[in-house]
Structure 1
Amino acid sequence: MKNIIYIIALILFSGCGNFLDEYSQDLVVPKTVSDLNEVLLGNGYLPSAEVEYLRSGSIGWQLHLLDDDINTVIAYNATKGRTEMNQIYYGYTTWQLEVGRNYEGTGLSGDNGNWDALYQRINSMNIILHELGNVSQSTEQEKADAIRVQGECYFLRAQFYLMLVNLYAKPYATDNTTELGVPLKLTYYVEHDKDKETQFDRTPVAEVYAQIVKDLNESVKCFTVSPQTKSFYRASKDAALLLLSRVYLYMQDWKNAENTAKELLAGNKTLLDYGNIWGNTESYAISESSPELLFSQGPLNLQCDFNGSGGDFCISNDLYKLYDENDYRRDIYFVRSTQSDSLGLNRKYEMGKHRSYVSDIFTLRTAEGYLNAAEACAMQGDAQGASDWLNQLRAKRIKDYVNVTYDASEIIEQVRAERRKELCLEGHRWFDLRRYAVCKKAPFKKVIERVFALYDWENRSVFQYAEVYQLNVDDPAYVFAIPKSVLDFDKGMPDNIREDREYVRLMYRNNE
């Protein structure tokens, strides 16, 4: 019975047309590695797309609304955002108890999109990994292809679980191995017992991370035997190594983080010299042609947003002030809006509605490898080693850069600042803030304020005032609630408790 269930699940999740052969009038099954490869493409990797609004983006688009790198725009009037800002984004960007609740409190949208999409893809990976043992591998090429597909499945499952456990559970803490994580499903069939109220238990955070590490190590092994021959839109050994080094950072396993980042950079240290694109308005920091790009899946969710106009989001001054005037990134990444004087995105990505193959959430590039190595060294007391990695990156980012060697008292702060400057608007900052708060060697916590601008939509969209919200230190809103639809199905599953949140003060144009 379980076999029938998982085959049906495979068909339901598949978007791959007619590659499956008939098994009976009711069931079809994959028979070759090539068939499973197509299932992987259709049901594993996130597709590219044109994205007109951030809210219609792919998994994890909400990460851009949560951290201290952004704010909303105060302008004389709004040119966009009535539906998006008040109806869709309000609950997320002001860290409300119900993230789907609109500003007026009259509507509540579902909060299960990320959860459902991630588990659907994880389930597809589980099915493919099982089915690889049942399809023909009679030739050497089929055997090699099967190992490569296996490596891709392990990589994707790890990346999706890393997203899940960082959205719906507290950060990994070395002194708390029992903190509830997310359900860890590794079986190829659908479990359901009609007599049980709870179908899945929340696996401890530490166990989820252990599985992620195991999957990524298996992925590296697979790609070592059968290297990836496709472009950056398919997982590879380099991508797996970089993601693994990040996971070790999240776990505060500094030595393994250093070793893994160094293993990656020993074979691929390529960095884009931003001096070569600074004055070229047709060039972008992150694009399909970037030599730094190791992996990307899904669309560019930000392509039509964060332009700094009224009714939209902007870049926070807190972030902008970190950049030296000789830092190419400042002017490549950001530009002043002529409508509001707020900061919008410039050329970090290609902006404007288009089909992009580079994601602002699921992109991996070599620059992160330098930062991971630097952080791992800094946390182990190797200030010289950390400084060396920072210098190598900065030499490609800052005009006339002169190497600096930091001492142990300042290197950690420098590494964190550099990470924020380099990786902003790539889905890192929210997760970094979470893990910094539980870092045993150098904990860092801060209060974040969100200015939520309100406009008179019935009267020329004129600015009225702004409500200021605060995310406090150790705030429960650093963890998303388990989706209501999941709790309705799994009635015994523990939820993550969040709190009601009111604004702390009002802001008008004369005191902005």
Structure 2
Amino acid sequence: MKNKILKISILSVFTLGVLTSCERELDQVSYSQIPLDEAMTKEANFTQAINGAYSAIKGSGYFSTDTGNQIIVPDLTTDNLIVNPQGRQSNFTAYNWSFSSNNGSVTGLFTQAYFVISRANVPLKYISNLPAGTFRNNIEGHARAVRAAAHFDLVRAYCKIPTQSADANASLGIPYITEFNPLENNVTRNLTVAQVYDNIISDLNFAVNNITENPADKSKFSKAAIYGLLSRVYLYKGDYNNAITAGNASIALSPSVGARANFTNIWASNNVDGVLLKILNSTQENVTVGVAYQQGATATAGSIRSEYVVPKSLNDLYTTTDIRKSAYIRTASYQGSQRNHVIKWAFNTGGGTPLNVVEPKYLRTAEVYLNVAEAAFKSGNETLANSLLNTLKAQRYSPYVSVNLTGAALNAEIMLQRRLELAFENDRFYTFKRLGLTMQRTGEGPNVDGTGTASVVQTILPSDTRWQWPIPQSTINVTPAFQQNPGY
């Protein structure tokens, strides 16, 4: 049998039959690399494998490059962004909802998320090489947390969301890959959406009970981050009682939503106030996370050439007393045209990195507050929902006076604050989708006064099959049993 030779630091495999160029089967042992079976006997290599799984989250399809970047795709497919005619037209296929089986790479998430899963499964394959105890439990906990997170990112994008429609739970899910097997090419979609969610929750519950707590390290899952992610998963599942329980557990461990005084620096430096999980980035890695939005911005002033800009209607929802407006948006001219530009991912002045090289925030406490507030409202606990909203808003508006809302007004405020807080942060598309809402653009153009050419696509109905993104044809070509989504 051939000996599989891999260097742990560049382990690069993708299940479902797709292999990348860094993985090879060799007949001899390289002087610079060691067999995987031999390497995965040392604690240091398990730690390195876990680091590699986290690092893969910022790869192409997740948070790097422009096309398919999850920092922008969920916003440009909805009413949060308008294409700028002065830009390069990157991501225009997604903006125009022109999804098809042959351009599945328009959202490179499918390939990259399974790549992350493959990396997470490596230490799990060899976990029995470690003696029972705290270190082994911690490694398994982190691997299963990363695996669960990537599967959740996949299932919400490529499958129906349980709260989306009555038939969603029994509809077609995705494979839940639990074994490292890069040569597998006979994977089928044999799970329902409900079963995928059950697997995700099982992995996260194991992780939260077994990881070694290090809340100061925001680059890896802490207990607060896992509970926070569980609040998101349960909210999507429609299990509002558990969403509240998990969210409250997260908030108890990490209560700050990001103080108003620190908020701008959360985006413009390495400040982690209110951050539960971030993905490391540096000048050595030089991953241009923000390039999907713009080029040419400077930290102080100067012209900005944006790919997509903020519509007047959304810009106006941020009042002058809202710290998020200056942290997220800058109104500036490019070649004589005034636009509302997204600068949320442009600068890291604290770290001194180049333009657009920032650390993605995968999960923040503010979202957990919003998850619990929404779940509490739907469970009839308006007191809790108001309390959480007021705590969040007190750190966003100055001055701010607490209010107590009821009924439709309270629900509308929860949805408004979710839009304002998580704009340009991988949420808006999924909010429409999970609530089964019609995506309705406003008909505005890209200019600051709302004039200019509007999008051709203005309305997407809840019944549209394009809410479930297409499985890349390249995957089906090498894994023929893998079923394409209906409508493609």
TM, length-normalised to structure 1:
0.77
2:476 corresponds to: 487
2:278 paired residue among 279, 287, 296: 296
Q: 1:342 maps to what in 2?
A: 339
Residues 365 and 256 (structure 1), Cα distance of their counterparts in 2 relative to 1, 3 Å cut = same
Q: 1:227 aligns with which of 205, 209, 213?
A: 213
After superposition, give the CA deviation of every residue in 1:23-77 in whole Å (9 maximum; x if it has no partner): 5xx9753211221111221244337699998426866653343221111135xxx
1:114 paired residue among 98, 109, 116: 109
Distance 1:59 1:420, change over 3 A: closer
In 2, the alpha carbon distance for the partners of 1:392 and 1:466 equals 37
From the superposition, tell whether residues 277 and 162 of structure 1 become closer, same or farther in structure 2 (CA, over 3 Å).
Answer: closer
Contact kept, 8 Å, 1:73 with 1:311, in 2: the verdict is yes
Q: Unpaired runs of 5+ in structure 1?
A: 102-108, 138-142, 438-443, 454-462, 500-512
- The reply to whether residue 320 of structure 1 matches residue 315 of structure 2 is yes
Partner in structure 2 of residue 215 of structure 1: 203
Q: Is 1:447–2:440 an aligned residue pair?
A: yes
Cross-structure match for 2:91: 89
**167-176 or 478-487, which moves further after superposition?**
167-176
- State the distance in 1 between where 2:254 and 2:32 align: 38
Shift in Å at residue 367 of structure 1? Answer: 1.2
Letter in 2 for 1:166: R
Distance 1:208 1:63, change over 3 A: same
Q: SS at 1:342's partner residue?
A: strand
Q: Secondary structure at the match of 2:408?
A: coil
Give the counterpart letter for 1:252 in structure 2: G
Among 73, 96, 100, which residue is 2:84 paired with? 73
> Using the alignment, how far apart are the partners of 2:380 and 2:458 within structure 1?
34
Q: Deviations over 1:339-395 (max 9, x none)?
A: 322211245762684474521xx5212111211221111111111210111001111
Structure 1 segment 189-200 matched on structure 2, within 5 A:
189-190=181-182, 192=184, 198-200=186-188
State the AA in 2 paired with 1:358: E
Tell me which amino acid in the other structure corresponds to 1:241: Y
Q: Find the residue that maps to 1:363 and give its secondary structure.
A: strand
Q: Match of 1:169?
A: 159
1:242 aligns with 2:228: yes
Q: Is the 8 A contact 1:452 1:469 kept in 2?
A: no
| C-alpha contact (below 8 Å) 2:55/2:279 kept by paired residues | yes
Instruction: Please give the alpha-carbon distance, in whole angstroms, between the structure 1 residues aligned to 2:365 and 2:131.
Output: 37
Secondary structure of the corresponding residue to residue 456 of structure 2: strand
* Secondary structure in structure 2 of the residue aligned to 1:336: strand
What is the CA RMSD across the aligned residues, in angstroms?
A: 3.6
Deviation at 1:324, TM superposition (A): 2.9
Q: How far apart, in 2, do the equivalents of 1:422 and 1:229 lie? A: 23
State the partner residue of 1:41.
51
User: What's the secondary structure of 1:217's corresponding residue?
Assistant: helix
- Counterpart of 1:150 (choices 130, 140, 165) is 140
Deviations 1:228-270 (A, max 9, x none): 3662112211111100111111011111111111111112212
Deviation at 1:336, TM superposition (A): 1.0
Q: Does the aligned pair in 2 maintain the 1:8–1:27 contact within 8 Å?
A: no
Equivalent pairs, count? 446
337-346 vs 428-437, which deviates more? 337-346
> d(CA) in 2 for partners of 1:239 and 1:157?
14
Task: Please report how far the alpha carbon of residue 338 of structure 1 lies from its aligned counterpart in structure 2 after TM superposition.
Answer: 2.0
Deviation larger for 383-392 or 184-193: 184-193
How far is the alpha carbon of 1:132 from its aligned partner? 1.4
Query: Structure 2 unaligned runs (5+)?
Result: 14-21, 24-29, 281-286, 298-302
CA distance in 1, matches of 2:326, 2:217: 29
Larger radius of gyration: 1
Partner of 1:160: 150
Which residue identity is paired with 1:396?
A: Q
Query: How far 1:154 moved relative to its partner?
Result: 1.2
The equivalent of 1:460 in structure 2 is none
Pick closer, same or farther for the CA change 1:21–1:266 going to 2, 3 Å. Answer: same
Work out the CA distance in 2 between the residues paired with 1:377 and 1:409.
Answer: 14
Counterpart-to-counterpart distance in 2, 1:381 and 1:215:
29
Give the 3 Å change call, closer, same or farther, for CA 71–466 of structure 1 in structure 2: closer
Contact 1:274/1:329 (<8 A) preserved: no
Deviation at 1:126, TM superposition (A): 1.9
Check whether the contact 2:72–2:424 (CA below 8 A) recurs between aligned residues: no
Give, as a single letter, the amino acid of the residue that structure 2 aligns with 1:468: V
- Residues 75-109 of structure 1 show CA distances to partners (whole Å, capped at 9, x for unaligned) of xxx3xx33xx1xx42211101033876xxxxxxx8
Residues in 2 aligned to 1:214 and 1:135: alpha-carbon distance in whole angstroms: 22
Amino acid at match of 1:184: Y
Question: Secondary structure of the residue that 2:415 maps to in structure 1?
Answer: helix
User: Structure 1 residues 491, 398: CA separation in 2 closer, same or farther (over 3 Å shift)?
Assistant: same
Amino acid at match of 2:315: Y
Give the TM-score normalised by the residue count of structure 2.
0.80
- Aligned counterparts of 2:444 and 2:118: Cα–Cα separation in 1: 39
Contact 1:48/1:357 (<8 A) preserved: no
The 1:396/1:497 distance shift into structure 2, 3 A limit, reads: same
Paired with 2:69 and 2:306, the residues of 1 have a C-alpha distance of 22
Q: Which residue of 1 aligns with 2:466?
A: 477
Aligned to 2:18: none
